Amino acid sequence: MIKVYVSRFNSEIDKEPHLECYEIKKTPQMKVLDALQAINEKYNADISFRSSCRAGQCGSCGILYKGNGALACQKEIQDGAIIEPLKFPVIKDLIVDKSSIEAKVKDLNLSLQCNHKNELDTDINKQDSAKTKKVRSCIECYSCFSTCPVVNIATEEFGGPYLMRYISKFESDPREKFDRLKEALDEGLYNCTSCGKCLSVCPKNINTFGDAIERMRAIAVANGSGPLPEHVSFRENIEKNGRSIKTDKTPFIKEATNKTGSKIAFFTGCMVDYKFPEIGHTLVNILKENGIDIDVPEEQVCCGSPLLRTGQTELVQKLVDKNKEVFKEYDTVLTVCSGCGSTLKNNHPEFGSNLNVMDVSEFLVDKLDSSKMHNVDMKVTWHDPCHLGRGQNIKDQPREIIEMIPGVEFEEMKYPCQCCGAGGGIKSGKPDIALDLSKSKAEMIKDTGAEAVITICPFCELNLQDGLDAIGANDIKSMHILELLKKAYE
């Protein structure tokens, strides 16, 4: 038997939706839709929900499963499931009123605006249409819209991934005569944090933040309508010194550069080199403590992530080529910043570089000698950086490392993989959105009673601390996992 929690709402008797618990027998591969039917049969519950094709094609059965958008006909039910309606006004139980977004689509005239006389003269070559095929394969289940943290948490309006994808479909059509880019900018093209939640819940695997949002940001930059003024310094700084930020400290690499003969090299990233050199020194020391040497190559440069995320793609090939040359002699390249790791793994291959990149947690998890660790009496929780959990599919290893440290008490927060708002150029370009999201995350951290939130991304680390400070929880510290390990090895 499994327990299933279903959101119930009947406007005639309820003021607001509430969860009801049902127990049913789970059959192999039982889907949410089967479970709802089983509940209705067993309890005569009369739960209202939509479905049609039952094959993942029509999108009508969209629901929230433990807070994430999903198709009820495709999602396998598990014990403890929480099934709620999508984030629209509820009509009854799981049936929602989507008229607001349908009206928006109507307002934006989201159909091809072309001069039909000339339409046939426009060449739509197969390559162009193959490139946008994925973006055109949406089945309108609204999972992405209902799960997007900016749509749901931030106070600033954002059309969200559904509309961005929709606009991008027309923007990329050579027959389109309307200025779709302006529409995208008006709907918040620069409000997306690149968290990847929309891709992770999309039943059609549409990469809206990359193939629609970042693609349109690059077009905006090319035609002079992007990026945001605050993003220009990323490119200027990189042009000057290979780093996306400035520093008044001695860069970590200047102090630590070495040649040990090791086949492992450290890709520091801009934040560790210029802002958090202590994280870099801690990595070198912890590896030494565990009998591992690491090289810190001097000539390395920014991975290009701040440029890719904000549409300033012009310099990226140069950065990729430079890093490819610098790291070519190494078997393994270690990162301590999830954004850098994800960019090196996911974006650099498109620019012709395929280094063997490992996040520090996947490298260390089977190499740390816990017998040398001291007790660290601390209660902690873990924040999954978007570019680690979704970007690199790394979730277990950091948790295993934390649990390895004697004395540490670990408690999960409610949604550890919810975006903190640090990425996608949001922290600098749209600080209010970054703060709204980090405050929401800070409340979850506070609810665990932890003294520290651990992560593997200097951007998240900074933004989480801002959120904690903003809700008056500045006694809780935001920490890189290496800082926690340092306490264990001190």
Question: CB under 6 A: which stretch of 39-47, 48-56, 346-354, 416-424 binds ligand FES?
Answer: 48-56
CA dihedral for 336, 270, 476, 284, sign (positive or negative): positive
Residue 204, interface with ligand FES (CB under 6 A)? no
Sole binder of ligand FES in the list 38, 39, 73, 206 (CB under 6 A): 73
Q: C-alpha angle 438/66/148, rounded to 5°?
A: 45
Residue 71, interface with ligand FES (CB under 6 A)? yes
Residue 146, interface with ligand FES (CB under 6 A)? no
Question: CB under 6 A: which stretch of 54-62, 149-157, 276-284, 318-326 binds ligand FES?
Answer: 54-62
Sole binder of ligand FES in the list 10, 23, 27, 53 (CB under 6 A): 53
CA dihedral for 365, 370, 373, 375, sign (positive or negative): positive
Residue 237, interface with ligand FES (CB under 6 A)? no
Strands 357-359 and 408-410: unpaired
Q: Is the Cβ of residue 59 or residue 341 nearer to ligand FES in the bound state?
A: 59
Of residues 411 through 470, those in contact with ligand FES by CB under 6 A are: none
Residue 35, interface with ligand FES (CB under 6 A)? no
Least Å distance, CB 144 to ligand FES, is: 14
In the 8-state DSSP scheme, what is residue 374? P
User: For the purposes of burial, counting CB atoms within 10 Å of the CB of 260, is it exposed (0-12), middle (13-18) or buried (19 or more)?
Assistant: middle
Question: CB under 6 A: which stretch of 53-61, 98-106, 218-226, 467-475 binds ligand FES?
Answer: 53-61
Sole binder of ligand FES in the list 4, 35, 39, 59 (CB under 6 A): 59
Least Å distance, CB 36 to ligand FES, is: 12
Question: CB under 6 A: which stretch of 55-63, 111-119, 336-344, 472-480 binds ligand FES?
Answer: 55-63
CB atoms within 10 A of CB 302: 25
Residue 61, interface with ligand FES (CB under 6 A)? yes
Q: Is the Cβ of residue 101 or residue 433 nearer to ligand FES in the bound state?
A: 101
- Bridge partners for 243 per DSSP: none
Residue 51, interface with ligand FES (CB under 6 A)? yes
Contacts of residue 472, defined as CB under 8 A and 6 or more positions apart, other chains included, come to none
Least Å distance, CB 66 to ligand FES, is: 18
Least Å distance, CB 38 to ligand FES, is: 16
- Bridge partners for 90 per DSSP: 96
In the three-class reduction of DSSP (H, G, I as helix; E, B as strand; rest coil), residue 258 is classed as strand
Q: Which of 178, 183, 184, 181 is closest to 113 using CA atoms?
A: 178
Residue 54, interface with ligand FES (CB under 6 A)? yes
Kindly state the helix (H) or strand (E) to which residue 68 belongs, with its residue range: strand 68-71
User: For the purposes of burial, counting CB atoms within 10 Å of the CB of 136, is it exposed (0-12), middle (13-18) or buried (19 or more)?
Assistant: middle
Least Å distance, CB 50 to ligand FES, is: 8
Rg of the chain over Cα atoms, rounded to whole angstroms, equals 24
Sole binder of ligand FES in the list 30, 58, 315, 470 (CB under 6 A): 58
Q: Which of 201, 202, 198, 193 is closest to 420 using CA atoms?
A: 193
Residue 60, interface with ligand FES (CB under 6 A)? yes
Sole binder of ligand FES in the list 52, 99, 122, 354 (CB under 6 A): 52
In whole angstroms, give the CA distance from residue 363 to residue 365. 6
**445 and 468 in contact (C-beta within 8 Å)?**
yes
- Both tokens of residue 156? 């600033």
Residues of the shown chain interacting with ligand FES in the complex, contacts defined by CB under 6 A: 51-54, 56-61, 71, 73
